Amino acid sequence: MQTITRAMKIVDCFITSEPNRFLSITELSKQCNLPVSSIHRILNAMIKHELIQQDKERKLYGLGITWLEYGLKMYDTMDYVSIVRPDLEYLMKQAEASVYLRKPIGSESIIIERIDCTNQTILAHEKLGLRVSLHEGQANLAMLAHMKRDEIEEIIQELIPENEKDDFILQLNNIKRDGYAIGEDNDDQITTVAAPVLNHYGDIIGAVNVKIKSSTMTSEKKEQVIDQVTNTVNKISWKMGYQN
C-alpha cells in the first residue's frame, strides 16, 4: 500500500507540472519528499509497465504512454458522454460559450467533457479531469442542491463552517427552486450558468455549465443563456430516462 501511495505521489508531480515536462530524480525526490533511492526503485518498476518513460541521454523521466491508453479506453467506454456530446455542441453554438460536463464523485466532481468555443475570448479554461469540491462553483452547487437530503447534510457537515451553514443551505434551496445556478467570478469577470443532469431514478449524474464574459451578459442575454442551459440538461436527462 505504501508503494502505491508513493507511486501516485510521483504521478501527481508530473500531472501538476507543465504538460509533457520531464523531471529528474532529484526534482522528484524534493517534490515528493522521498529518498532518491526510493524514487529510483519505484520509477524502474513503473517503466516496466510503461507508466513512466525515461530519456536516458538526459537522465530525465516523464509519464508513459499507458496513461493515455487507459484514458482513451475509459473515454471510449463512456456511452454517457458520446450520447450527450451532440447536445453539448449545440449548446456551445447557441450560447457561443465553452461548455463543460461534470460528474460527481463522492464529495467532489470531475470534468469529463469540455466543448471549446472558438469565438470566445475567455482564456481561463478548466482542464479535463479537474477535481473540485462539491461546495465550490456553480456546477457543483447545482448538483449538490438536487441531491438527496442525507447526501447534502453529509457534505455540509464535512465542508461548511458552522457559522456559514444557514446561508449555504438557503443558497442551495434557491438553486433547487430555480433549477439552475448562476454566479460571477469577480477576479476573471466570468459568469457561469449551470444546471444538473438526472437519471431515470431522479439521481444526480452530472451537471452542464457554460462560462461567458460578464461584460456581454445583458439582462436579455442572461435569460437566453439560462433557457439554453436548462433546456439542454432537460434533453440530456430525458435521454438518461428521467421523467419529471
Question: What local confidence, expressed as pLDDT, does residue 172 receive?
Answer: 96
Interval 144-155 mean pLDDT: 92
Interval 38-56 mean pLDDT: 90
- Rounded Cα gap, residues 191 and 213, in angstroms: 6
Burial 190-221 (b: 16+ CB within 10 A, else e): bbbbbbbbbeeeeebbbbbbbbbeeeebeeee
Interval 104-123 mean pLDDT: 82
Q: Is the pTM of this model over 0.85?
A: no
Q: Do the beta carbons of residue 233 and residue 196 sit within 8 Å?
A: yes
**DSSP H or E stretch at residue 237:** helix 219-239
Q: What is the pLDDT of residues 171-223, one digit of tens each?
A: 999 999 999 999 988 777 889 999 999 988 888 999 999 998 888 889 999 99
Question: What local confidence, expressed as pLDDT, does residue 185 receive?
Answer: 82
Per-residue pLDDT band at 123 (split at 50, 70, 90): low
The values of phi and psi at residue 2, to 5°, are: -65, -40
Helices (H), 77-192: 79-95, 138-145, 149-159, 165-178
Question: What local confidence, expressed as pLDDT, does residue 238 receive?
Answer: 92
Percentage of the chain beyond pLDDT 90 is 50
